Structure 1
C-alpha cells in the first residue's frame, strides 16, 4: 500500500510501514506538519499525545480542518493531572506519560481495530523521554515501528533535537526511514532511505 505525503521536501508517496522522524527546535511550529500528515490519504489515524490533552488535540485538528471523524486520540496526561475525562470510541487514556506498555497496547489496539490507510502521529517522543527516560523511549518507538510495519501503516514521530544529546538524536534518527529537519527559521530539509 502506498501513502501520499504532502509535506515539503518529502517524497510524493511512501510505502506502508514507513516511519518518519520530525526533528524540530523546542520552539518549532510542528502543528502544520502533523495535520498535513494526518489529513492526506488516510482512512483512520491515531494521535498519541504525551504533550497535550485530548481536548487540546481536538482543538488543533479543528483549527487545521482535519476530519475528526477519522481520529482516535490517546491522551497520556489527563489521568495523571487529575483532569476530568470521558472515554469514548475515539478517545482513550493511559495512566501516565511513562506508561509505555499501555501506550504500545493502545497503538496495537488501534491498528487491529481499523482497516485501510492508517497513520499514527506521536507527539512527542521528547516528552515520553522526559517522563520515562531515553532508553525506555527508544525501546517504545522501536516497538511501535514494528507494529507500523506489521499493519502496513505509517507514522510521524516528533523529537526536539535541542533537548537530547547528539548521540541520542542519532540513535533515534537511525530507527526511521525518513527524517524531516525543521530549522529555527522554518526551513525544512528531508532525507528518506
Structure 2
C-alpha cells in the first residue's frame, strides 16, 4: 500500500516499508515535520519518545491538532527518571532509552495489533545513542525498518546532524530509503532516492 508524504514543498507517495531519516540541527524545529508526517494518510501511529515524556508528546499532538485517538505513545524516559506514570491502552513504557530490545518489541506489538495504514516516529536515534551507543542503535533501527517492511508501514527516524561525525551520519543515511534534511534556517530538503 502507498502512503502520502507531504513535507515542505514536497508532496508524493511512498510505498509501505519505507523508512525515512530526518536529519536536523540540534535545536531544529522538528515538531512541524513530525506532526505533518503523522497526521497524513494514516489510521494509527506510534511515537517512540526518548526526549520527552508521554504527556509532553500528547501536548505536542494537541498543539498541532493531530488526532490523538489514532495515537500510541512509547515513553522511554519516565521510568528511568522516576516520574509517575499512568498506563493505558495507548501509553506504553520501557525502562530506559537504552532498552532497545524493549523498544523494538513494543514497535512490533503496535504493528501487529493495528490494521490499516500505520506510521512510526522515533524521536530520536541520537538520544538512544547517548544512552546506548551508535552500533546498538544502528542495529535497533535496522530491526525497526525490517518490521516496517514486514507490516507494510512507514517510519520517520530523527537524527541530529550536529552530534554525530560524518562517518556515522553516512552510515545511518545509507540505512534508510529516504532522507529529509532540515537546515538551521528551517529549509527542508527531501531526498527519496535512497542515497
Fold in common (TM above 0.5)? yes
Partner of 2:54: 54
Partner of 1:173: 173
Give the TM-score normalised by structure 2.
Answer: 0.98
Deviation at residue 9 of structure 1 after TM alignment: 4.4
RMSD, aligned α-carbons: 0.7
Deviation at residue 114 of structure 1 after TM alignment: 0.1
The question of whether the paired residues in 2 share the 8 Å contact of 1:10 and 1:191 is answered with no
CA distance in 2 between counterparts of 1:71 and 1:107 reads: 13
Show CA shifts across 1:28-60 (max 9, x none).
Answer: 000000000000000000000011000000000
Equivalent runs, 1:150-169 vs 2, <5 Å = 150-169=150-169
Partner of 1:97: 97
Partner of 1:123: 123
CA distance in 2 between counterparts of 1:125 and 1:51 reads: 10
Show CA shifts across 1:78-130 (max 9, x none).
Answer: 00100000111000000011000000000000000000000000000000010
Partner of 2:37: 37
Partner of 1:110: 110
Partner of 2:141: 141
Residue 7 of structure 2 aligns to a residue in which SS? coil
Give the TM-score normalised by structure 1.
Answer: 0.99
CA distance in 1 between counterparts of 2:80 and 2:147 reads: 26
Deviation at residue 144 of structure 1 after TM alignment: 0.2
**What count of residue pairs does the alignment treat as equivalent?**
193
Partner of 2:186: 186
With 65-74 and 4-13 compared, the bigger mean Cα shift is at: 4-13
Segments of 5+ residues of structure 1 without an aligned counterpart are none
Residue 6 of structure 2 aligns to a residue in which SS? coil
Residue 66 of structure 1 aligns to a residue in which SS? coil
The question of whether the paired residues in 2 share the 8 Å contact of 1:10 and 1:192 is answered with no
Deviation at residue 190 of structure 1 after TM alignment: 1.3
Deviation at residue 10 of structure 1 after TM alignment: 3.8
